[in-house]
Amino acid sequence: MFVEDLAELAINCAQQENNVLLDAVGPEIFAFEDLVQQIASAVGAKPKFIHVSPRAAVQLLRLVGPIVGDVVLTREEIEGLMADLLVSKQAATGQTRFSAWLAQNAAVLGSKYTSELQKHFQ
């Protein structure tokens, strides 16, 4: 579903005569914890949330990174989340609701993991 939305958006933009700058976003907006909770519920996980300062989160994630062999979340990503940089100021450009996509794809989520470090830097 998301792929079709993105393909349609790309085709529409390619047909424009002028340069176009827009966000490729769907109709739903989630707080980070809500997003994690929805994904966890869909895959049958029961995460324990602890609320810490951004500085403490960065330090904890630096400890977790080597255990999972990846960079979980960087200081810059945390700052971006806190500044709502992932929340579009534009109207939705996609029609697919993440919650609907999640329900349809829950069975395959988490069945394969690709480390960003291994994918891009090794």
Q: Note the pLDDT of residue 63.
A: 94
pLDDT < 50 regions, the chain? none
Smallest CA-to-CA distance from 61 within 52, 71, 76 is with 71
Position 36 scores a pLDDT of 92
pLDDT value of residue 99: 93
pLDDT at 43: 93
Taking the CB of residue 94, how many other CB atoms lie within 10 A of it?
19
Contact 5, 26 (CB under 8 A): yes
- What pLDDT is recorded for position 57? 94
Write the DSSP assignment of 51-91 as a string of letters.
---HHHHHHHHHHHHHHHTS----HHHHHHHHTTTTS-SSP
